Structure 1
Amino acid sequence: MAVARHLLASTRKLVAEHLATAQQLADAKKSLADARAQLRAFQSLGASGSNVVRAPFAAIVTLLAASPGAIVTQGSPLLDLAARRGLVLTVGVVPVQAGEINAGDKARVTLIGAGRSVGGRVVLRGDMAVSGSGLVPVEIALPPGKFMPGEMGEAAITTRKVRGYVVPHAAILVNSSGATYVVQAVGQVAHEVRVRILDSQGDRNVIAGPLIARAPLVLTGNHQLSNGMRIRLADPGAHGARR
């Protein structure tokens, strides 16, 4: 408005001195009229003075999309908000492991560079790998007040739990009927124990069965033993008994 008024006043002086044309004066008047119309339009939208924008919830500003004094069009975003109680950590998981993850699985989240970890819960698992990384996105809900937006972390997700004995794969044998068993050294005598394999990870298995907790497992030559055979320990201090 101030610029349009100044232009009109200057043009009128120039016209009076025969230094501007009537068309230039008409253009200056039109500029002032357009400025007034634009001002009324802004005022009808609430731009008659300063306004306070209040978030509908307790939030953190994560992005400012407009600078002070800028003119923005209706519907344009001004800022992005993140709810303090709605933060999630997005992690990437290799596809072969992502298939075992489901919403509701528990997780332990650790900040990069920090030793502490907090509990979280999976809220979303993607159904396809992201191009570029080849990883499947998984979102983990974070407890309020523990993290700030933009922080980086890593997560250990528990997909299921099994309770049993962790043994080397070499300890597990299969008899002629297809049943799995292990051989323990009980008082230097071979003792066959039927077991069930609950889980496997690399060269280790989790098994369940009536094992004697204090008796060592026979690893070397165990397939040559049967119940009641005497065992000679080649190295009594070794982790597994050897025939």
Structure 2
Amino acid sequence: MEIKIYQIDAFADNIFEGNPAAVCPLNEWISDELLQKIAEENNLSETAFFVAEDEGYSLRWFTPEDEVDLCGHATLAAAHVLFQHLGYVKESILFYTKSGTLEVGRSDSGYSMIFPASGPEAIDTPTVLKEALGVIPTKTLVAFDYIVVLDSESQVRSLSPDFVKLQTLDLRGVVVTAPGDEVDFVSRCFFPKLRVNEDPVTGSAHCELAPYWAKKLSRNKLTGKQLSKRTGMVQCEVIGDRVILLGNAVDYMSGIVTIKT
């Protein structure tokens, strides 16, 4: 069995920036066990697999540890592969996923992804979360991740989490955010349960962050910056129950996965 594979830097204008994702187009679905083994072998935060279906594509995402319900940067990478390498000619692509139907379009300014918004709700900060981060949050919220709000960009930059303690929390991960010095908000994203201690640029987290900051700042168009080592910029627009994320993607490499059967 041979499977084409692409590695794409998403939310990036140049290679070695943004968040790398592997993308494997399939003619038909292979076993979940094999999908997981490929993702583990790639050892990237996400590997995306898609199969043509109806008017679009069925899309799934795997970390080295498990399948996830939503991933932004690997969706962007999958769309880039379709537009740039597989001859997709329409102006937008429909992806059928565990989080519903997602749409990715292209324009002169990059790719735009229409994702579901997930407005976080305030909670009391779990003790283990305070211990793991070593800070007292200004506010803690919950959506599909814990959202920890701090006072300043410098606090977010200086965090050195205890990943073993973060791994004991019940949700997917922890997203730490604060007002930005030069952008609307900054963030860092930690997913040790998925064997991704810190994700470089996390599109799905902005489905939680954008609604919060849009309400906080009283405007629906926002610029977020993720303060990982690679860094990445995400333009966000909140429209009702949807978030539009804008970003670019660039090729890093392509190849063939060869599996003896």
Provide TM-score, normalisation by structure 1.
0.21
Provide TM-score, normalisation by structure 2.
0.20
Q: Which has the higher contact order (CA 8 A, sep 6+)?
A: 2
